[in-house]
């Protein structure tokens, strides 16, 4: 059972509106979470709870990434739970700069996701069909994203290609990207 104090801290954070270059959960919140008995296991459980709100799962994943919790990284199931929470958050995030820009860079959370020892591909594969536009801030990056019409599917494909060590260019033409993304999905077995 998840501790009410832990849920209170997670639900008091608004990770989907955090500044793009900063963690969504602050040091004070992480310290409060660490003080809860069995916090690491509970945070992993929240991150892996597909029925929980995306913001709560995202806050739990960020707390695990930002805190001194380290046992979860050696557990394939726990790392997969964090990967799933991060990918779910990508769908509803208000700034995709923290995730990356296809063909250009992997952002802070894109790098964090790629660093996980397991669950990365399973988490990103469902996003290959998401045609929601990327929300990119900043003049040059926003212009690139808007001109190319980048979508969450393109970002997921870009991160999957980086993860696989494949060429990670993102064609400016939407139809070409769709064909490349479909080929990647077939290659990865969806």
| Tens digits of residue pLDDT in 129-171 | 999 999 999 889 999 999 999 999 999 999 999 999 988 877 7
Here the tokens at position 60 are: 């739990």
Residues 43, 56: Cα–Cα separation, whole Å: 10
Residues 29, 74: Cα–Cα separation, whole Å: 24
Residues 160, 166: Cα–Cα separation, whole Å: 8
Neighbouring residues of 20: CB distance < 8 A, sequence distance ≥ 6: 95, 97, 98, 107, 137
Neighbouring residues of 189: CB distance < 8 A, sequence distance ≥ 6: none
| Tens digits of residue pLDDT in 26-61 | 899 999 999 999 999 999 999 999 999 999 999 999
């Amino acid at each position: 059972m998840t501790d009410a104090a832990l849920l209170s801290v997670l639900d008091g954070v608004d990770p989907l509106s955090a500044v793009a270059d900063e963690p969504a959960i602050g040091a004070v919140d992480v310290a409060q979470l660490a003080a809860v008995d069995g916090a690491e296991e509970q945070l992993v459980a929240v991150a892996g709870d597909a029925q929980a709100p995306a913001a709560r799962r995202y806050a739990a994943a960020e707390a695990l990434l930002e805190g001194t919790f380290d046992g979860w990284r050696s557990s394939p199931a726990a790392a997969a739970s964090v990967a799933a929470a991060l990918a779910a958050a990508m769908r509803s995030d208000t700034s995709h700069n923290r995730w990356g820009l296809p063909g250009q860079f992997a952002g802070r959370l894109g790098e964090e996701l790629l660093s996980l020892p397991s669950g990365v591909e399973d988490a990103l594969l469902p996003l290959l069909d998401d045609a929601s536009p990327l929300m990119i801030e900043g003049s040059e990056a926003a212009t690139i994203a808007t001109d190319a019409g980048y979508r969450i599917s393109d970002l997921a494909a870009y991160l999957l290609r980086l993860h696989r060590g494949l060429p990670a260019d993102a064609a400016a033409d939407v139809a070409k990207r769709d064909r490349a993304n479909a080929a990647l999905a077939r290659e990865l077995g969806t």
